[in-house]
Amino acid sequence: MKFIGSLLVFSFVIFGFVPFGTADETAINATIVKSRPLVENRKTPVILHLEHESGFPVLPDELEIKHTEKVHLLIIDPTLSNYHHEHPLPMNAPGNYVFTMTPRTDCNYRIWADLDSVNSPQQFAVTDITGAKDCSDKKIDRAINTTYEGDNYRFILDFDTGGLKVGQDTMAKLTVRDKNGRYVHELEPIMGAYAHIVGFYDDYKTIAHMHPLGEEPYANYDRGGPTLKFHLNPIQSGYLKLFAQIKVNNMVVLAPFGVEVEASNNVIDDNIVDLPWLEELEIEREPEREPETEKSDARESKKGEGLDTLFQENEDTSTDVYENLEEKLLKEIPELDRSADPVRLEFKEDPF
């Protein structure tokens, strides 16, 4: 099945305004080539095929690396409760990409493949993975929450406007504390940032994908927190489920939030570039950092070694921490092996 999804909130970077848009004009289509029906808690290999509207396969060399990966898969079930962020690797068959996921439900899951090709801007190719059960009768839990406690951490999401409204620029502030209430200054790099926020609307067609404002990590030993800021300007009303993703103490943690985006009669100006709230980034100070250790001095001494050190230890994943994405897949799928082309994978036996 093929779908065309919508992107309502693009990420905002400190160097300029990235206007919102939709993926309705996507030039890349996605289909599932092979997958077992998804079963709760069963790790499942999936082969995704990407092709241009012309029918030609999308090759790895055509894709730009962004946030450390060429393809980001944003995956969720119809109840908006079980979110996955995966990175597929290219296979020997042109246009085919393989990944694994362990669903927490038996439902179908929808994939938004977030990618930038060399000759076109960011776009989303959308498709579904078939589940073992029909979940059409299941409903979305529309609970509103801007705090979350889990995995020994407490997350607080604040909006400078008090809430979200269509067409309204809003600064969201994510604050992370540990179970004892201490501010967490040790947020580790995860996909080239100190956090990511992905949101899914209740129409199951529309998503939001945001990255923090301000300085990004320069090397794997850099640390951030306890507070990160995100810019939002939604162009659709409705219930929005948000997932904040961080990495701390070598563990990836997801924090779910639920918010309602209010409708607005205001006209949205696509050309707004005057964003005075940026000055707040220079004025507002975070809670004073606790005394640094010798380890911090060691990190400073390594400054200047360059980007080569970024993510040499424990590259990102949504559920596990691993040293190399290719090695992870080879361990998870025994039938998978390297092909004659060293940058691609192939199945030596059929795992399906």
Each residue of 23-67: pLDDT tens digit? 444 589 999 998 999 999 999 999 999 999 889 999 999 998 988
Q: Is the pLDDT of residue 351 over 70?
A: no
- Residues 249-273, mean pLDDT to the nearest whole number: 77
- What is the C-alpha to C-alpha distance for residues 39 and 69, in angstroms, rounded to an integer? 27
Least trusted range by pLDDT, from 150-159, 200-209, 336-345: 336-345
Query: What average pLDDT does the chain have?
Result: 78
Structure confidence at residue 338 as a pLDDT band (50, 70, 90) = low
- Give residue 120's pLDDT: 72
Q: Which own/partner pairs from 120-124 qualify as long-range (CB within 8 Å, at least 24 positions apart)?
A: 120/27, 122/7, 122/10, 122/66, 123/23, 123/25, 123/26, 123/27, 123/28, 124/5, 124/6, 124/7, 124/23, 124/26, 124/207
Residue 68 reports pLDDT greater than 50: yes
CB atoms within 10 A of CB 312: 11
Gap between the Cα atoms of 69 and 311, Å rounded: 12
Task: In whole angstroms, give the CA distance from residue 15 to residue 308.
Answer: 23
pLDDT tens-place string over residues 178-214: 999 999 999 999 999 999 999 999 999 999 888 999 9
Burial class (CB in 10 A: 0-12, 13-18, 19+), 231: buried
- 119-128, 159-168, 210-219 — which is least confidently predicted? 119-128
Eight-class DSSP state of 83: E
Taking 50 as the threshold, does the pLDDT of residue 12 lie above it? no
- Rounded Cα gap, residues 287 and 285, in angstroms: 7
More confident position, 241 or 312? 241
Q: What is the pLDDT of residues 116-153, one digit of tens each?
A: 887 777 888 999 999 999 998 999 999 999 999 999 99
H-helix or E-strand spanning residue 280: helix 280-283
48 in Cβ contact with 127 (< 8 Å) = yes
C-alpha span between 25 and 23 (Å, rounded):
5
Domains in the chain, CATH or no CATH each: 2-136+321-340 (2.60.40.1220), 147-301 (2.60.40.1930)
pLDDT, position 98: 94
Q: What is the mean pLDDT of residues 100-118?
A: 93
Confidence grade of residue 266 (pLDDT, cut at 50, 70, 90):
low
d(CA 259, CA 143): 8
CA–CA dist 69, 88 (Å, integer): 9
**Which pTM does this prediction carry?**
0.76
Query: Residue 339: what pLDDT?
Result: 61
